[in-house]
Structure 1
Amino acid sequence: MQSNVPTEYLPDESDSPDYVYPIPEAHYPREINTADQLVDRHVREGRGDNVAVYFEDETITYEELQERVNRMGNALRELGVESGDRVLVRFPNRPEPVITCLAVQKIGAVAMPSMKLLRAKELRYIVNNAEATTIVVYDDLLDEVDEALPDLDTVEDVVVAERNGIEHDHHSYDELMDAASPELEAADTERDDLALMLYTSGTTGRPKGAIHTHRQMLATADTYARYCLEPTEDDVFGGNPPLPFAYGFGDLVTFPLRFGASTSLTQDASPGDLLESVENHGISVLCSIPTAFNQMLAKFPDGPDEYDVSSLRVGMSAGEPLTPTTFEQFREEYGIKLLDGIGTTEMLHIFVSHHHEGEVDPTATGFPVPGYECKIVDPDTGEECERGEPGMLAVRGPTGIEYWNRPEKQDEAVEDGWSFPGDIFVQREDGRLEYKSRADDLIVSSGYNIPGPEVEAVVEEHEAVAEVAVVGAPHEQRGEIVKAFVVTTEGTTGDDELVEEIQNHVKNTLAPYKYPRAVEFVTELPRTETGKIRRKELRE
């Protein structure tokens, strides 16, 4: 890997993935810059008046976005940010983080979007691990930065976007922008220079910095988005995944801007806010997680009548498995397919999905995305499994797993050039890949391997169940038993009779040994900022 950062932080060649580029769109010239491709190219090609960003009542054209990116890039250079420097960007979903990340990349530095719920302790670890030099932050999220600041070894400057009147003694985002030149040539970055670093949520230990190059960022759009969504410049992408979530950054930044389309940003969006944005901004590609789609169905049963949703043409779902129940209900109510996808922070975006115009089987995730190849291997022998047999998913394509300065984790994640995201799948006879569980979510009960998400999908079919999470609970005789944590629908009481109904439904649908021997009713499920269920918390 050619790189703009010190090579001692990058994986050894022997532990790096083998990158393959089987589609023509994934071949890029040696010198290429993400920000130039996502913004400047559209202005050069006459699309400067197209709307790039919708936010509340504001519209930002590509020409206006270019000027703001240029000003921020020049401001960062004035502060001393150099090629390869890491810049932490900490905001809710608003235009400023999009502008800042693009500006960082345009000057050849590395953007590090940060989840807004991170506390000072977590920020200390991430900033020091990445050796970030600069932080750009929303004023309402400044307190944790200030608390961490005395212990941040490499940070030289903090830039604050003043939107809520919070006092501070750092640089002013707006003042820097106003003073900076609107003209900026993109740095001479190479395709394998680092452009983006995203830290994993760290649910199983210290967060890991997943590193991505200019080429890899563009490749996510030129594989999954181009082939599975087929976007045009008339599309409007919108949704509520946080921008620092790899899924959200692709959905709301890389994908729309790659195709000259628009992104609709909604700060701290509830399901109702999303429906308003669909109506007000004409969202055509709706991106979210299964929980949010279920909330839209449950809290807005008349949503398609109350809001103008005629602009919608396809939905994207990731973060957790999308159940067939949710898929069918959403298609019935909103008239669009939700494309389930498997992707990871490390792989940057979705690499298994269906095509929006193809036949979608909601009981499977889909096929390998054009540009990627997948195989299922026996975790013990490393041999490829027969179709129909569960095993570990291995992936190869234009993106792969590479960690910043974590050689021990790198060694676990890549084998013979294939990346192992840590998921158990089955490849069916028709080639579709069916998700079973995360490797660490497999429940082993009396010697049987039981994938929790498979049980969840069946429990969710019960009309009294709004949400469910299934984990293994310790058991003296069986090792583990299947335990379901259930949130009931409004007006339904969780009692012994409902427990029996749920158990019988699972017994009648799946092999009887998979039924939940314990059911606990809860008011809500613990979730990460990206909407994933905190199963570790439930297991504890």
Structure 2
Amino acid sequence: TGEPKGAVHCQSDIFYTNETYCREVLELREGDRLFSSSRLPFAYGLGNSFTFPLLNGLTTILCREKPAPETISRIFREYRPTIFFAVPVVYRMLLEHHRHGNALDTSSLRLCVSAGEALPAQLGEEWQNTFGVEVLDGIGSTEMLHMFMSNHQGDVRYGSSGKLLNGYEARLIDHEGAATAAGEAGNLWIRGDSAARGYWRRPETTAQTFVSGWVRTGDLYTQDAAGYWWHMGRSDDCFKPTGQWVSPVEVEGVLLRSENVRAAAVVEGFDEHRLSCVCAVVVKRNDGDAAGLIEDELRALCEKALPRFKQPRQYVFMSGLPYTATGKVQRFKLREQLRSHKVASFGVFA
């Protein structure tokens, strides 16, 4: 999401992620063929495409081409992967590709995995209903080398990051540094033996992130009574328009229930009095649809599903959202555009 920091890992960290996430969640078996649309330079792709298949004597499918729907469809058809790793935006593109008459052959898949950005519940459910394959959403980081929370096969709670993996510890800390009460949102700190030793030649940043054996993830989370963890957003993406925290991820999940919405992002906006408010940036599924009618539908959806302080007061329609190379929405770019009153000049972001 920003400039590379150079997280320093030891070789033993690779083996630790294999014994934790790979063993517990993937449960690799003879004949598995792993294909990841996220590439080797990213920690997520490194495990998916290199260390997990290598350490378990299995096949990896590598592709130099950009992971466009046509390319992924061809790989599914020709190379028959059994496990597919991607980010939410890729799953959305593949579903749209399939809906437009380009049949996607997923018959070889036994499992799909999502990471990089929280997987909207509606998207995960739609994928499973369409193709009959679960999508296991989870969260990891470069600092921890791979996943430390995940949904599990046969135990999927769409909209959540699943449960904490064996071998890791987690705690939620408020903005004053104290542990949060049960059920309340807090900043996620994680601990486990795959943690990096720090950032390469960046002592100040290292001291901020790595604290007494814990890693500050920068994510805001809650944990429910059943042990599932729910991503509220990046700590710097959440905001308090009326003195109460608003989670972009929660509001976006409601907006995406509409069949007329292809993508959505929620950021802090400002009303005519320059007071903080919830702003929804929406990408229509069909360009020709009337924005006003869709806005009315979305307002009605949010009134039913969200308390008043979380309901968007502003709606901005764009042709596309800005994404990082790893498929994360760059909400900071949207905030910058809103604050500089350049919303009308938004175009399609690659």
| TM-score normalised per structure 1 | 0.60
2:182 aligned with 1:378: no
**Equivalent residue for 1:238?**
35
Q: How big is each residue's C-alpha offset from its partner over 1:369-401, in whole Å with a ceiling of 9 and x where there is no partner?
A: 121111112231x33223211101111111224
The one-letter code of the counterpart of 2:195 is G
1:445–1:263 CA distance, 2 compared to 1 (3 A): same
- 8 A Cα contact 1:494 1:521, kept in partner: no
Distance 1:363 1:280 in 2: 32
Q: Quick one: distance in 1 between partners of 2:305 and 2:47?
A: 37
Query: What amino acid sits opposite 1:413 in the alignment?
Result: T
CA separation in 2, counterparts of 1:432 and 1:309? 28
- Cα distance, 1:291 vs. partner? 0.6
Q: Deviations over 1:242-300 (max 9, x none)?
A: 22111111111111212111111122121221122112111111100101101111121
Tell me the amino acid that sits aligned with residue 247 of structure 1. Answer: Y
Which segment drifts farther, 475-484 or 417-426?
A: 475-484
1:429 alignment partner, SS class = coil
Say whether 1:297 aligns with 2:95: yes
Match of 2:285 among 481, 485, 489: 489
Q: Are 1:233 and 1:262, in contact at CA under 8 Å, matched by a contact in 2?
A: no
| 1:218 aligns to 2:15 (yes or no) | yes
What's 1:133 paired with? none
1:538 maps to amino acid: L
Structure 2 unaligned regions, length at least 5: 337-350
Q: Which structure 2 residues correspond to residues 273-288 of structure 1 after superposition, within 5 A? A: 273-288=71-86
- Which residue is equivalent to 1:395? 190
CA contact (8 A) 1:323 1:457 kept: yes
For the 8 Å contact 1:233–1:259, the answer to whether it is kept is: no
Q: 2 CA distance for matches of 1:369 and 1:480?
A: 38
User: In structure 1, how many angstroms separate the alpha carbons of the residues matched to 2:303 and 2:288?
Assistant: 22
Q: Secondary structure at the match of 1:365?
A: coil
Q: Specify the code of the residue in structure 1 equivalent to 2:77.
A: E
Q: Could you tell me which residue of structure 2 aligns to residue 360 of structure 1?
A: 156
| Partner in structure 1 of residue 207 of structure 2 | 411
How well do the aligned residues superpose, as a CA RMSD in angstroms? Answer: 1.7
**Cα deviations by residue, 1:419-456 (Å, 9 ceiling, x for unpaired):** 11111101111111111110000022021210111111
Aligned partner of residue 7 in structure 2, secondary structure: strand
Asked which structure has the greater CA Rg, the reply is 1
CA drift at 1:306: 3.1
Map Cα deviations across residues 178-222 of structure 1 (whole Å, 9 max, x no partner).
xxxxxxxxxxxxxxxxxxxxxxx52xxx53111111001221122
2:138 is aligned to: 341
Maintained 8 Å contact 1:443/1:481: no
**Counterparts of 1:344 and 1:270, CA distance in 2:** 24
What amino acid maps onto 2:189 in structure 1? A
Aligned counterpart, 1:269: 67
Q: Which runs of 5+ in 1 are unaligned?
A: 1-200
Contact 1:239 1:274 in 2 (8 A): no
Of 441, 446, 455, which aligns to 2:242?
A: 446
Q: Deviations for 1:91-141, whole angstroms, at most 9, x for unmatched residues?
A: xxxxxxxxxxxxxxxxxxxxxxxxxxxxxxxxxxxxxxxxxxxxxxxxxxx
Q: How does 1:137-152 map to 2 (within 5 A)?
A: none
Say which SS state the counterpart of residue 210 (structure 1) adopts. coil
Normalised TM-score (structure 2): 0.91
C-alpha distance in 1 between matches for 2:104 and 2:194: 38
Alignment pair present for 1:253 and 2:34 = no
> Counterpart in 1 of 2:332?
536
In the TM superposition, residue 415 of structure 1 has moved relative to its aligned partner by: 2.4
Within the alignment, does 1:316 sit opposite 2:113 as a pair? Answer: yes
| 1:481 shift after superposition | 1.3
Whichever residue aligns with residue 193 of structure 2, its letter is: P
What secondary structure, in the 3-state scheme, does the structure 2 residue paired with 1:485 have?
Answer: strand
Contact 2:20 / 2:166 at 8 angstroms: preserved in 1? yes
- Correspondence 1:54-69 to 2 at 5 A: none
Identity of paired residues, percent?
A: 35
Give secondary structure in 2 for the equivalent of 1:215: helix
The 2-side partners of 1:427 and 1:250 are apart by 26
Contact 1:445 1:478 in 2 (8 A): no
**Residue type of the alignment partner of 2:208:** E
Describe how 1:153-164 pairs up with structure 2 within 5 A: none
